[in-house]
Amino acid sequence: MPSNKSIVFSAQNVSKTFGAGKRLKTAVNNVTFDIYDGEIISIVGGSGCGKSVLAKVMLGLYQPTSGVFLYRDDKIRSLKKHWNEVQSVFQDPFSCFNQFFTIRSQLEDALNILEKKPSKEEVKARVDAGLMAVNVKPADIEGKYPFELSGGQMQRMLLARIFALKPKVLIADEPTSMVDACVRANILDYLMKLKQELQMTIVFVTHDIGLANYVSDRIFIMHEGSIVNQGTPEEVLDKTDEPHTLKLLDDIPEVHKTEWIKNSHRSKR
């Protein structure tokens, strides 16, 4: 763990429950971790294990029911201030865009969240740069509405927004779920590019332990709200007899498995 880096997120015994009595649901159960500046952390686990709820705690959308959750040594008090630095890419890109406005206008509006308002020219230049970063020619989306693009293209638009906003931290919740293998590989490369060019801290939420191995500095394995295994990919994948980790490894399709085992020996940074 990088002792010389500052801590971005710190969770101490954080739980998040919903409902009460018989209907009590513990979505996140007593998790403790630190995430350091510039790291890519993957949160991996099966459906319903609490990944998105934990991601929403990081975004300040949920307060922990118990425990302490800090962003840069402080509780999240103002969402607007928090979202200046911490941004997200969510599972369904269509839910993040309004169908009745052009994509361009929404990408430009996204920059309104910034405390230091950029000029009109700068907004245009930053959106253009964001589009180019995900290999989309600005002219290709000119005058287009979200329904005119495919799911994969819309996911790129979300990433273009991130390149334009340049947040310090990105929470990416299954950003590759709607795209085919080729586009998925591109998106993963964009995530690496965000880390390398903007020194962004990235929390990547996924079902897929193979992808996590490929992109992460450290992996947290979740099961029923708890973090049951955490460490570098080597620590988590190679030296483990933790049953939930083994189950996730078993679930990787054979073709994909050979691909990531090959990649796992490649330098990640």
- Give the CA-trace dihedral at 176, 180, 183, 185, to 10 degrees: 70
Rule CB under 6 A: say whether 49 interacts with ligand ATP: yes
Shortest Å, Cβ 65 to ligand ATP: 12
> What distance in Å separates the CA atoms of residue 198 and residue 16, rounded to the nearest whole number?
31
Shortest Å, Cβ 204 to ligand ATP: 13
Q: What DSSP line would sit under 142-208, residue for residue?
A: TT--GGGS-HHHHHHHHHHHHHHH--SEEEEESTTTTS-HHHHHHHHHHHHHHHHHH--EEEEEES-
First to last CA, the chain: 16
Nearer to Mg ion, 25 or 117 (CB): 25
Rule CB under 6 A: say whether 51 interacts with ligand ATP: yes
Site size for ligand ATP, by CB under 6 A? 12
Rule CB under 6 A: say whether 89 interacts with ligand ATP: no
Residues 7-46 that bind ligand ATP (CB under 6 A): 18, 25, 27, 45
Shortest Å, Cβ 50 to ligand ATP: 4
When binding is defined by CB under 6 A, the residue of 4, 22, 24, 47 that contacts ligand ATP is: 47
Give, to the nearest 10 degrees, the angle between helix 151-165 and helix 103-110: 30
Residues 151-210 that bind Mg ion (CB under 5 A): none
State the DSSP H helix or E strand holding residue 53, giving kind and residue range, or none if neither: helix 51-58
Rule CB under 6 A: say whether 48 interacts with ligand ATP: yes
2 binds, among ligand ATP, Mg ion, none (CB under 5 to 8 A by kind): none
When binding is defined by CB under 5 A, the residue of 29, 52, 153, 206 that contacts Mg ion is: 52
Q: Judging by beta carbons within 10 Å of its beta carbon (0-12, 13-18, 19+), is residue 100 exposed, middle or buried?
A: exposed
Where does this chain bind ligand ATP (CB under 6 A)? 18, 25, 27, 45, 47-53, 207
Where does this chain bind Mg ion (CB under 5 A)? 52
